[in-house]
Structure 1
């Protein structure tokens, strides 16, 4: 995949509001607490204090105060799905285009 197409996919995923990311990941039932939604962590559960997981729409971030995970929407997908960056992008914006990149093919031929 060319750098431009990769950047486009990353930018498209980064533009998804974090509450929408949570919904796409199947995270439901978080309660409103001020400007955040809080509840049990979808990965660690949060233990006795089930409100340790929060999503802040204004900042576009999530945080679990029990297991220490946090970050933006793409990191949220990586955390919940237990996957790397590429598969998280695939989940959020669709599978990557596997069509051959003519520029990459030409570079490979020159190196060979």
Structure 2
């Protein structure tokens, strides 16, 4: 089950329902997770509620371990802070896909004016 949640995070799968769909489609993903049969959504939910605190502690401990390893490999690159904010969706206009489309249209229009 833990492998499934790690895979969900790595692939940025937004919901458990979509994860289950991917697991049903892909035998490789099922094999990676160690599933012969895809668990029901309630099993994923029960796992998260039972082990949420333990999982949080595990990932915090992993950060502590990997941070030292990263410093050994390349001190400069390890000093750069990178965060994954896919779980946060503040309500701002920049998070709306229409905003990006309008910006793209403006850029294309500007590019055409420059070419003339």
> Shorter chain as normaliser: what TM range?
under 0.3
The structure whose residues are more often helix, as a share, is 2
Higher-RCO chain (CA-CA 8 Å, sequence separation at least 6): 1
- TM-score under structure 1 length normalisation: 0.27
The structure whose residues are more often strand, as a share, is 1
